[in-house]
Chain A
């Protein structure tokens, strides 16, 4: 449930617990323990895969001024779990409102989904 749960690593949890009690209220933390971060060649491959959507991305920016939901999801997949982790640390350092925590929560769920997909489909040997 995105509404109430944050998937946070230990370093992120520490930042969350430093927030005011008011901001922490109503949120549960599930510790993010999956460490299936992308290999460098995976990130480069994803970058080239996103480039096959150049036309769609350009059209979305021109037509709607931002990406469609599907293209936004593709972009976040390309960004990868480590990139999202760096941004989560940044966002946790500037949280001021409950709405901000909702953003952190949603991003933490997106990272969790990435890590689960990585775990499920990574090769098991070299």
Chain B
């Protein structure tokens, strides 16, 4: 187990990894904290786990756990540890954000359209046909251009099909 050297998520070190180094080959990226907390000798509390990853204390123990679970990481153990630290940072921000917006309606067509367009762009999904009235006041191509300019994306994605619209009016969010 990795020792905890601090009791709060303060004074954390920025993970030493660039966008170009992500993803580290052979090492997973986690979408939810429950998938990773408690693994690699990390605590089950996100604050504490981030302190553990940020600290250089017992670094060797962490690297051994990573290499044991993911032998394909090979000589990239240090980068995998840094990537894991960044992954945990973003998981914590995501959880905080999702809690904050839980009370928001997410019903306005502009909001649902932005979310759907961005997701479609990320995955290269074809979108279901929709009634153009919903976005009639927004230049859709400009919206697509902005979304596509934001990047970076996680890998190869397809272009949105011409005329694709992301929202079907009359169907409530579930």
List A residues at the B interface (Cβ < 8 Å): 2, 40-54, 57-58, 61, 64-80, 82-84, 86-87, 90-91, 94, 96-97, 99-100, 102-104, 106-107, 109-110, 113-114, 116-118, 120-126
A118/B93 in contact, CB under 8 A = yes
Q: Which of B37-45, B59-67, B68-76, B96-104 contacts the other chain?
A: B96-104
CB closest residue in chain B, given A36: B93
Assign chain B's interface to a size class.
Answer: 35 or more
Number of A-B contacts (CB under 8 A): 221
Give the docked Cα–Cα distance between A53 and B125 (Å).
13
Q: Which of B1-41 contact A (CB under 8 A)?
A: 9-15, 17-19, 21-23, 29-32
Residues 132-174 of chain B: 1 if any A CB is under 8 Å from the residue's CB, otherwise 0? Answer: 0000011100110011011111110000000000111001011
Instruction: Give chain A's interface secondary structure class.
Output: helix
A99 to B135, CA, bound (A): 12
**A51, A70, A103: which contacts B110 (Cβ < 8 A)?**
A103
Picked from B17, B92, B119, the residue with its CB within 8 Å of the CB of A75 is B119
